Amino acid sequence: MQIPIAFFLLLGSALALAPDHGQTRATDSGEVTNQINRTVTLAPGADVKIQSINGQVSVETWDGDRAEINISVRASDLVTMEREPIIVEATPNSLTIRREEDKEGRRRGGDRGWVRHEARLKLPKNVNLKVSSVNGKVDIGAITGEVGVNSVNGGVVVAQAGTATQLSSINGGISVSLLRLGEGGLRVHSVNGGVKIGLPSETSAEIDVHSINGGIKSDLPITVIGEMKHGQLRGRVGDGGPQITITSVNGGVTLQRN
């Protein structure tokens, strides 16, 4: 049985795609599945947002200008799948992938069924990427632009970020390697797991680490300011500069050279 899914594709006037809504299939168990496949072209420095995905997000990167979107969707039933569709909004300078939440269902309460996703993307390296409200682990390849991660229920790995300013509310460990520390510095907050941050050897920064349930290790030479206590460290790397603040981490913290 094949039934069209309620899937919306919103496009800027500069971008045109052939209509392709995928196919929804019913399994013997009563669940329904759908596969969403899209390809768009993005300009250098485009802003990419991934929001409200209920499942794993994997981002591979490459030197081309195309973004390939592949999302597998499973739901308890067709009504639930249609009630919380995946929305893709694309222009040459932006790409947003998000789940439309069922606010009416939330207000009514009761058993509203379930929807699960597995998102696999291939993005140009030279974009800015923000990931938020993901219920699953997040794995990101090498990005030369800015990366931001917020509200993830799972571990986060960023192979390379051009820069990052905030990584917060992560229920799992996080590992990120930065090409540079921007003028706004970096804030890592509320991580239920270890934190590993790679920085260039020539980094100059102010360091403030506290509320840590674990040790603190650093390959970078840190000049300690004041008294060093368990789970707390204030110091300076190099000549000082942008602030790196790491707070409320349930795990060890490692600062290392890239």
Which residue ranges make up each domain of the chain? Answer: 2-257
Q: What is the residue whose two structure tokens read 């069924």?
A: 113
Q: Is 5 within 8 Å of 26 (Cβ atoms)?
A: no
Pick from 201, 198, 206: which is nearest to 225 by CA?
A: 206
- The pTM of the full predicted model, rounded to 2 decimals, is 0.87
Helix, strand, or coil here: 80? helix
Token pair for residue 214?
């674990």
Sign of the C-alpha dihedral, residues 224, 192, 181, 150?
A: negative
pLDDT of residue 73: 96
pLDDT of residue 23: 62
Q: Residue 84 gets which letter from DSSP?
A: S
pLDDT of residue 28: 56
Chunked into runs of 10 residues, the chain (258 residues) has average pLDDT values of 36 34 63 95 98 97 98 94 93 96 54 89 98 98 98 97 96 96 94 94 92 84 86 90 93 91
pLDDT of residue 212: 78
pLDDT of residue 20: 40
What's the burial of 170, exposed, middle or buried (CB within 10 Å: 0-12/13-18/19+)?
buried
pLDDT of residue 174: 96
Pick from 10, 14, 4: which is nearest to 100 by CA?
A: 10
What's the burial of 240, exposed, middle or buried (CB within 10 Å: 0-12/13-18/19+)?
middle
pLDDT of residue 2: 35
What's the burial of 90, exposed, middle or buried (CB within 10 Å: 0-12/13-18/19+)?
buried
**10 Å Cβ neighbour count for 114?**
14
